[in-house]
């Protein structure tokens, strides 16, 4: 008995030390469900499929009046030939570089749009560009539901995707649409479509105007200013910066920039955002980012060494009937800048910047956070809670996730210490057996 007591005493301190080693702490990134959803998430019926951060991203079909007008315009045209040219044109547009950089590699040449080229552009790009602009407008309607623009300024109007997207969303509540494009043939086609393919017809919004040059009057302001798929047309950075500033000065409420979601397109959108944030701070004027950034800091994707992937999003649209694939997707980059302090209802939640990866028992989410960081969070029921896990599982690329990303310490079992514990237990059992034999 005394021998065993001596063994117990000698092993006591060792056991305490082993237990301390067994329970190690590990820091993990978690997504804590926003307090406003705690009660709802506690219900058995909560699925996470409908939460306040979801952004409607349904298929954006061209409105019927526009489709009818397009059919009339193409009635006597060789559509097959126009589409073939359109495919080549779309590839050329997709592969464009920042002109200021392109001149260093090769001579930059501006695309000249003839009447037939404009028709090819309409066939190859209008459904995609319409869907991207409509997706950007969805953010405004979601986070500023009381904002209904009376006046719209469309810079680089092309074939009229922006006016049609605005008309589809706000209809007769619009009072005036002012369009600028350098190509007379683009203006002619856009006007014709907005008149229902009747040159002598009336615009859907009577006060619709087209011009080739921007008005120099800085006092003329518009509720909503849009520049979509236009930034590559400027030959130098200085000319772009001047344009950003002129458009911003014409903005009364929101300024929307949309470009193709290539690396180069994203960089131009980010350039505009950073320049206007800097200029507003310099001038002592307040401004905010409505979407997609949940912060006003430098883009964390550009700050990551070796990361050349663009910050882009995805819209869905239906192509024309005679296209091989009618259900299509468009990747685009955008930013919505607001004048003055943020008055919208945008919560301070992270945004999904890639598709969530749903796996068995966990969901991998790539998030841009209000702190200006890119975080990869792996959501599980055990670590993050049922509510956060279900919201992450049901969300899509571009949604805001109703969580707060935090680092949290977890107590975990140390696998190395566990092996040591097993060895010590085996040694202890051996000592006890030996002590029992000695007593006998």
Distance CA 420, CA 406 (A): 33
What CATH number was assigned to the domain covering residues 64-339? 3.40.50.150
Distance CA 354, CA 307 (A): 14
Domain range annotation of the chain = 24-53+349-413, 64-339
What average pLDDT does the segment 375-390 reach?
95
Render pLDDT for 309-329 as a digit per residue (tens, 0 to 9). 999 999 999 988 765 556 789
How many CB atoms are closer than 10 A to CB 190?
26
With CA atoms as reference, report the closest residue to 136 among 169, 180, 159, 158.
169
Q: Tell me, what's the pLDDT at 437?
A: 57
SS3 content of the chain, % helix, strand, coil (to 5): 45, 20, 35
Distance CA 187, CA 65 (A): 18
Question: Is the model's pLDDT at 392 over the cut of 80?
Answer: yes
Q: H or E segment at 339?
A: strand 327-339
Distance CA 331, CA 354 (A): 12
Per-residue pLDDT band at 414 (split at 50, 70, 90)? low
Render pLDDT for 101-137 as a digit per residue (tens, 0 to 9). 655 455 556 788 999 999 999 999 999 999 999 999 9
Render pLDDT for 203-260 as a digit per residue (tens, 0 to 9). 999 999 999 988 767 789 999 999 999 999 998 999 999 999 999 999 999 999 999 9
Place of tokens 């400027």: 234
* H, E, C per residue of 143-196: HCCCCCCCEEEEECCCCCHHHHHHHHHHHHHCCEEEEECCCHHHHHHHHHHHCC
Bridging pattern class, strands 327-339 and 208-211 = unpaired
Helices (H), 23-56: 38-41
Name the residue with higher pLDDT: 96 or 384: 384
Q: What is the mean pLDDT of the chain?
A: 87
Q: How far is CA 317 from CA 44, 59, 62, 131, 166, in A?
A: 36, 5, 8, 6, 16
């Amino acid at each position: 008995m005394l021998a065993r007591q001596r063994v117990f005493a000698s092993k006591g301190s060792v056991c305490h030390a082993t237990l301390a080693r067994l329970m190690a702490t590990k820091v993990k990134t978690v997504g804590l469900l926003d307090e406003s959803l705690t009660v709802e998430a506690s219900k058995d019926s909560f699925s996470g499929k409908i939460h306040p951060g979801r952004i409607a991203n349904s298929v954006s079909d061209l409105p019927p009046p526009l489709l009818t007008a397009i059919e009339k315009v193409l009635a006597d045209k060789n559509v097959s030939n126009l589409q073939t040219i359109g495919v080549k044109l779309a590839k050329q547009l997709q592969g464009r570089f920042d002109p200021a950089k392109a001149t260093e590699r090769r001579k930059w040449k501006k695309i000249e749009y003839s009447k037939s080229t404009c028709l090819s552009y309409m066939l190859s790009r209008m459904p995609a560009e319409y869907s991207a602009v409509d997706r950007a407008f969805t953010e405004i309607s979601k986070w500023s539901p009381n904002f209904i623009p009376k006046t719209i300024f469309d810079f680089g109007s092309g074939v009229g995707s922006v006016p049609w997207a605005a008309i589809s969303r706000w209809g007769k509540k619009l009072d005036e649409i002012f369009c600028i494009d350098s190509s007379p043939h683009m203006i002619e086609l856009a006007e014709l479509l907005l008149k229902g393919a009747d040159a002598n017809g009336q615009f859907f919004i009577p006060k619709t105007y087209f011009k080739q040059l921007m008005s120099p009057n800085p006092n003329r302001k518009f509720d909503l200013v849009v520049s979509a798929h236009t930034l590559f047309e400027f030959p130098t950075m200085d000319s772009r910066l001047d344009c950003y500033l002129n458009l911003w000065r014409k903005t009364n409420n929101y300024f929307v920039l949309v470009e193709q979601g290539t690396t180069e397109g994203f960089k131009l959108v980010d350039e505009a955002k950073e320049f206007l944030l800097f200029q507003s701070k310099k001038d002592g004027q307040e401004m905010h980012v409505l979407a997609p950034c949940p912060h006003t800091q430098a883009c964390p994707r550009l700050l990551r060494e070796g990361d050349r992937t663009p910050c882009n999003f995805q819209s869905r649209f239906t192509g024309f009937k005679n296209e091989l694939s009618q259900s299509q997707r468009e990747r685009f980059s955008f930013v919505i800048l607001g004048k003055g302090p943020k008055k919208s209802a945008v919560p301070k939640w992270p945004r999904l910047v890639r598709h969530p990866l749903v796996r068995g028992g966990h969901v991998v989410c790539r998030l841009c956070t209000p702190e200006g960081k890119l975080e990869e969070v792996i959501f599980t029921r055990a670590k993050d809670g049922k509510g956060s896990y279900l919201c992450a599982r049901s969300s899509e690329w571009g949604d805001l996730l109703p969580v707060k990303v935090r680092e949290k310490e977890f107590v975990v079992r140390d696998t190395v210490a566990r092996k040591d514990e097993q060895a010590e237990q085996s040694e202890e059992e051996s000592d006890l057996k030996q002590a029992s034999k000695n007593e006998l």
